[in-house]
Amino acid sequence: MSEYRPKYASIAINTPVDREFCYSVPSELTPVPTVGARVQVEFGTRTEVGVCVGISDELDFKPRGKIKPILRVIDDQPWMSDSLMKLAEFIKEHYATSLGEALTAVLTGELSLQKSRRKISILKLAKSTDFIEAWINENGANNKYEKQAKVLNVLLHVPGEYTVQNIISKLDISSSPIETLIKNGLVEKVVIDAPIVSPIIEGEPDLSVPTLIDQQRDAFNTIVPHVRSRSFRTALLHGITGSGKTEVYLHLIEEALKIGRGSIVLVPEIALTPQMIRVFLQRFPAVAVLHSMMTEAEKRDQKLRLREKEARIVIGPRSAVFAPMDDVGLIVVDEEHEYTYKQENTPRYNARDIAIIRAQIENCPIVLGSATPSLESLHNSQIGKYDYISMPRRIGSSELPFVEVVDLANEMAMQRRYNFLSRALVANVNAALEEKSQTILFLNRRGYTGQMHCNVCGHVMTCGSCSIAMTRHKKINRMLCHYCYSNIPVPVKCPSCYRGDMKSLGVGTEHIEEDIATVFPNAKVVRMDSDTMNKKEDYENVLDSFREGEIDILVGTQMVAKGLDFPNVTVIGIINADSAMHHADFRATEKTFFLLMQVAGRSGRGIKPGKVIIQTFQPKHPIIKYAVNHDYSSFSSFEMQFRKKLAYPPFAKLIRVELSHVKEEVIRENITGIASSLREAFPNRNVVEILGPAPCPIAKIRDKYRYQILIKTKTRGAQSKVREFVKPLREKKVRGVHVVIDVDPLNMM
């Protein structure tokens, strides 16, 4: 008997247009397309990969022309399971995207054609760093070379391997500056093996399973009935750093394995994956890994291991929530409050929220673990939607570090040379050096100094293309824009009033590194930020030598703040706690608090007690006070009150509509129209409140002006009505205006 061959197939394609497209199935086409298989089709003038979402023998509409044929069927067996298809449907509905866009996310990049690309061609600097820096100094200010200088800056300063296409999309430029650089011998193309991220990290098999302590046992006992009965339930596991959350995950995963079910473990960042894998491989022989830095071929390998049930555990950031695993028995979201779970381009999904939906679909429990739960999750546990489990004690004898606050205003008044290294900080670092323990210094800003401003007219040096203050970098001796990487010479006189001198405000990691080297000449200091860490290996090497004790003081940005576990660190210095506090964003307070708690958690993880020094210009700010006392509960009630009063999440839901275009008046025309039609459609402010339109806090990026409308919905169901209303805005592009719809946004800038 011959195989069933449908006449038509309905194909979802990665475009904002919210419908599927009909193609015919030619009689000679093999394999025959099935629902869930990827196919290649002509779409407009391009060839696209889409996913077959339906087959039929008849058309239920009148075709306007000839129906195009499917060109090729890529999969002989569908990659999409039912549950992943349901997740895609959810993303489409909740995040107001098309099914094709949602499926692209679910298939994590497999909607591209290079199936088993093992070689890639990347760009490398063809001359020495000094030569390139000199070239940028000489030519960077000249309009003609500006774009080339940007490319060089990325290759010089931004970690990663870049293909021509990567650079083009990162900088929003054409290929011609790159070609010129290649032609002039400054940059070359190098073919490399696509980086292999081996999932097998040598773990010391350690089969001794620790006995859970009381708080862990309680947590385990609350969750495990749902694992065994295969039922959906969300648990918020609120455990301070070092309270043994990971051990609870491991025990639960083992229970799921006992009944033949697999587990998905989400971590907030790729950088944290190896650490987690190491722990897991000590316990379980086969662990799969999925993340966006892997090549298509590697992802396919890992997915095959999961599909064939060779591995029943998968670890990874964000996109691992879409792992093709059958019979999921447990989902863990570690550090559930982290913003990195939110994808900042379409579809703008939050992997934590998707994970909850997946657990619902799979009939399994989900554990949201955090030392500082998001207010959304806390609220859900307060209203009984989630189980709330608290683990307030650290494992073993390690105590929470002692926190001391230093008033930076006092230090500045001392008029010393190294104002940002306070007396208390210096004394503590000295003590640590003496007893051969280690120090981490954290600062939220890279570069040498903060913004430069005129001491007469107050003019601030901002990027011409982005409305952002530029940062001085000493090594290249230029002002750099951290958004578009354009750069200019460091000014001496004010370019605006021609009278004043340009002064710097604040310090960056480059400056602190230099100061540290002067104040502690015998200490081994390493700086870790995106200027010094060019490759993933750099990062791992530094962490390895830090762990080995070869580094005394580690200075860095966010990179040093994340869940890293170093037992020999006794001193943590937060150089300027205020740098995150002034944002025009209602989440600035929680961001600052989370960061302070997280950085503080890095210290005193071993036997020696730890000390944290928080330097700030606002020592009396409540957030600082809560951080000093490790007092999450006062923080959360303070913040909940504020959110409730102003009707912000978790007491309302948000949708952000952003328009951008090179001409400001074009956006204004468009967005005022949108705002008034929204107000017309949703007149009751107690249900739907419309804020704006207003320029985004960062009003211009890469020469494009940005405006936004913030829509608060205050009752159940209102959000979906608004979503339906705004969804078509992405489909019809009016005069090339770019429209972003961000449902449940985290970033308001």
User: Taking CB within 5 to 8 Å according to partner kind, which of ligand ADP, Zn ion, none is near residue 599?
Assistant: none
Choice between 254 and 664, CB closer to ligand ADP: 254
Choice between 700 and 730, CB closer to Zn ion: 700
Determine if the peptide bond prior to 693 is cis (ω within 30°). Answer: yes
Residue whose pair of structure tokens reads 């009939």 in the numeric block: 363
Smallest gap from Cβ 371 to ligand ADP, in A, equals 7
**438-467 mask for Zn ion (x: CB under 5 A)?**
-------------------------x-xx-
Distance separating alpha carbons of residues 677 and 728, to the nearest angstrom = 13
User: Taking CB within 5 to 8 Å according to partner kind, which of Zn ion, ligand ADP, none is near residue 31?
Assistant: none
Smallest gap from Cβ 567 to ligand ADP, in A, equals 8
Choice between 213 and 426, CB closer to ligand ADP: 213
Q: Please report, to the nearest 10 degrees, the dihedral formed by the alpha carbons of residues 288, 291, 295, 301 taken in order.
A: 20
Q: Are 600 and 630 in contact (CB under 8 A)?
A: yes
Using rule CB under 5 A, residue 53 touches Zn ion: no
Residue of 406, 484, 543, 581 that binds Zn ion (CB under 5 A): 484
Choice between 356 and 463, CB closer to Zn ion: 463
- The DSSP symbol for 686 reads T
Beta bridge partners of 454: 502
Smallest gap from Cβ 471 to Zn ion, in A, equals 11
Apex 708 CA angle, 705 and 710, nearest 5:
170
Using rule CB under 5 A, residue 471 touches Zn ion: no
**CA count, 13 A, side-chain hemisphere, 225:** 7
Smallest gap from Cβ 243 to ligand ADP, in A, equals 4
User: Taking CB within 5 to 8 Å according to partner kind, which of ligand ADP, Zn ion, none is near residue 483?
Assistant: Zn ion
Distance separating alpha carbons of residues 745 and 343, to the nearest angstrom = 10
**CA count, 13 A, side-chain hemisphere, 226:** 23
Q: How many residues of this chain bind Zn ion (CB under 5 A)?
A: 6
- The DSSP symbol for 712 reads E
User: Taking CB within 5 to 8 Å according to partner kind, which of Zn ion, ligand ADP, none is near residue 651?
Assistant: none
Smallest gap from Cβ 486 to Zn ion, in A, equals 5
Element (H, E) at 708: strand 704-713
Q: Are 136 and 186 in contact (CB under 8 A)?
A: no
Smallest gap from Cβ 575 to ligand ADP, in A, equals 24
Residues in the site for ligand ADP, rule: CB under 6 A? 210-213, 216, 239, 241-247, 395
- Each as own residue / partner, the long-range contacts of residues 211-218 (CB below 8 Å, 24 or more positions apart, any chain) are 212/244, 212/247, 212/248, 212/251, 213/244, 213/395, 215/239, 215/243, 215/244, 215/390, 215/391, 215/392, 215/393, 216/244, 216/247, 216/248, 216/251, 216/391, 218/389
Using rule CB under 5 A, residue 11 touches Zn ion: no
User: Taking CB within 5 to 8 Å according to partner kind, which of Zn ion, ligand ADP, none is near residue 153?
Assistant: none
Smallest gap from Cβ 701 to Zn ion, in A, equals 7
Residue of 402, 418, 483, 651 that binds Zn ion (CB under 5 A): 483
Token representation of residue 437: 């323990």
Smallest gap from Cβ 216 to ligand ADP, in A, equals 6
User: Taking CB within 5 to 8 Å according to partner kind, which of Zn ion, ligand ADP, none is near residue 484?
Assistant: Zn ion
Using rule CB under 5 A, residue 488 touches Zn ion: no
User: Taking CB within 5 to 8 Å according to partner kind, which of Zn ion, ligand ADP, none is near residue 164?
Assistant: none
List interacting residues with Zn ion (CB under 5 A): 463, 465-466, 481, 483-484
